Chain A
Amino acid sequence: MVDFLIGLFLATLITALFTTRLYRLLFWYSLNSLTLGLLALTVGSRIGDTAMLVSGGITIALKALAIPYILKTLSQKFRLSRQTPPTIKTQYSIILVPAILVFTFYLAEPVTHMVQGNANYVAISISSLFLSLLLMIEHRNIAPKIVGFLSMENALFLLGTTATGGMPMLVELGIFFDLLMAIVVVNLLLYREEVES
């Protein structure tokens, strides 16, 4: 089940890389967060970690539902461009994505004997970090860049859930708090842009 969810996580992220429309992108991001939340719930119930169950629940509520909805509202309010064509051509991305995956699996190879769980999880987390960076690089518009930043947060969360068996609750809450603050700052920045133009 865990493997299946991690696979879905990676698949949704890769699909998001090739999307050219903003709402689709938000949809894939939401699915990405949903798989992440389910993953945390599964792992949490298996190892009996209440903190992880709570943070899985918060992930689903916040990242899979609230943030995509807020971003969609914001994009309507500030009339952001809904066409978001990537600047890196699809044929090059198709080469880049597997290259990143292969590289990160190579990078994580020595870890295989060291992590309690599956070393592939570390590799997948690092590769989703790089893929989110790619998502930020390949777009000129601001909205996909924000989504890229949020997916990066997801990659971090995935690493925290799978490689360490749960971060301390304090850290998890702090990360959520900062995420909310980031959204507020984004909102204010967009708002000022509107006022000035």
Chain B
Amino acid sequence: MTLFFLLLPPLLMFAASFVKTSRTRKLLPLSSFAVLVPVALLFRLPKPYALWGEYLVADDLNTYILLLSSVVGIGVTLALLTLDRHVKVSEKELYRFYRFFGLFWVGLSLSILANHMGIFWIGLEMATLSTVYMIKTNRSPAAHKEAWNYMIVGAIAISLVLFGIILIYAAYKPLLGEKAMLFDALLANSDRIPSPFLFELGFALTAVGIFVKMGFFPMNLWLAHIERAAFYPVAALFSGILESGVMAGFFRFSTIAAAIDHERLFLFVLVYTLLTLFIVSFLIFRAKDFMRLFSLSGVEHMALIALFWVSGGTFAALLHFGAHAFLKPALFLSTGVLESTGRYHFAGALRGYHGTRGKVFWFLAGLFMLAIVSIPPSPMFFSELYGFGAMIEQAKASDHLLAMLGAITLLLVLLSVIFYRFVAIYQSMKYEGAEEGKTVYISEVLALTIFAVGLAALLLPGTMAFLKGIG
């Protein structure tokens, strides 16, 4: 029954997008609010709660991720209301955007709630294919090219994930039979696995697929180019919802891998994320427009979350995850206003706002800009403290203390490059450049306020206690 209510709003949105009256236009954002009700209900139910037999099971982790995603969904649909005032988009395309947003949401809810590897994959593939169209709502040649690009690279990444899933299934099948598809069964039987090598081969392929999808080494720039070519709500959806869904999968797979051979998993992820951060930090240093800057910073944070998670800093990873899920869509949505005087203008982007709306906007956008590089009291500050603490604990327990400490130092140096660049950009936005008038609409301020409230809620003691309880 809860499942029905979870999937009803996006399906309604899908159906309503075919009716093109002015009233449906107001109705569409409302339907994203309706998702919040079943998610809130889900929070109150005893966990783990079976939504659909063993296939969809809600536990604390995925309920948390679903809640974050639904809040982001509300913000994005609010910002969609004024998309046509900032960029040129026809009415038809806007409806199409909603239509595919509905499909996207169905796929994503399935994949986040899945306890079954197959359903996780099917949901992810559905979400990926529906985003191809959202990129295409921008009718420029660049967007067209990037939509194809997304289709091909996304399909490769997703196929790698499925390939890994089949290998994992093959590794467990002699032991568990058809149940070898269920995440909880895999975790419970990890010490009795007949062929660890086959599992690790499968996990490596799955992880590489997941990493490619999130823009890790060596595919660092593909997401940045796509987000540049598409409209800004697409970028917000990518960073806030789609990557959360993908990351949820990584959490599940890596928990099983950690139970089998933690040291090897840690080394694999550490090397991968170090390479990623090394390249991304210099790419961020060279970024010349907001979209690419934020997109690359998204890759950086995803790498950090993955690293914190496998280091055993579950709480740090989840807090970082939540903070990123709110901050990044907020920044992407504000680019609609920030870039209204030109794509490559950092200087003066935070100047020229008038009236209450304008002032609230620049204050929030500036705040988010600084919060993303973990200036306290941003939740990211705390999550990085805990995360690096967990990594140092991991280093003390390992046999290679010096090498590990060296890696952590390198990581901090790379993060400081990013920190320096963001602060420099903030100063240029605020104190340089000409003052040009910019228009801010109420729906955008509302969306940003929702994200700000979400961020503040992450810092509440109750939330922290909840997140600590998940690990």
Contact = CB atoms under 8 A, between A and B. Distances in A.
Interface residues of B, number: 38
B471 interface: no
Interface string A116-154: 100000100110010001001000001001000100110
Interface stretch (B78-86, B121-129, B348-356, B453-461): B121-129
A63 B174 CA distance: 30
Contacts of B399: none
Interface string A19-37: 0000000000000000000
Nearest to A161: B166
Interface in A158-174: 159-160, 163-165, 167-168, 170-171, 174
Interface stretch (B34-42, B152-160, B376-384): B152-160
Give the contact-size bracket for chain A.
35 or more
Interface in B151-202: 151-152, 155-156, 159-160, 162-163, 166-167, 169-171, 173-174, 178, 181, 194-195, 197-198, 201
A142 B148 contact: yes
Interface string B122-143: 1001100100110010010000
A192 interface: yes
- Determine chain A's interface SS by DSSP, over half rule: helix
Interface stretch (A72-80, A86-94, A95-103, A182-190): A182-190
A178 B122 contact: yes
A178 B129 contact: yes
Given A111-B197, A142-B148, A181-B129, A192 B156 contact: no
B139 A129 contact: no
B198 A159 contact: no
A171 B147 contact: no
A106 interface: no
Contacts of A196: 139, 144
B169 A167 contact: yes
A25 to B, nearest CB: 16
A10 interface: no
B136 A133 contact: no
A2 interface: no
Given A136-B152, A171-B118, A181 B166 contact: no
Contacts of B57: none
A145 B150 CA distance: 13
A1 B354 CA distance: 77
Contact of A167 (B147, B152, B166, B201): B166
Contacts of A168: 118, 178, 181
B242 interface: no
A149 B125 CA distance: 13
Given A185-B129, A185-B132, A114 B197 contact: yes
Interface string B216-242: 000000000000000000000000000
Contact of A164 (B129, B159, B170): B170
B126 A107 contact: no
B148 A189 contact: yes
Given A163-B170, A165-B173, A189 B147 contact: yes
Given A156-B163, A165-B173, A168-B118, 11 more contacts: A111-B201, A114-B195, A116-B174, A129-B159, A152-B155, A159-B167, A174-B118, A185-B132, A189-B147, A189-B148, A196-B144
25 contacts: A110-B197, A116-B174, A126-B163, A136-B152, A149-B155, A149-B156, A152-B155, A159-B163, A159-B167, A164-B170, A167-B118, A167-B169, A168-B178, A168-B181, A170-B119, A175-B162, A178-B125, A181-B125, A181-B126, A182-B155, A185-B133, A188-B133, A189-B136, A192-B136, A196-B139
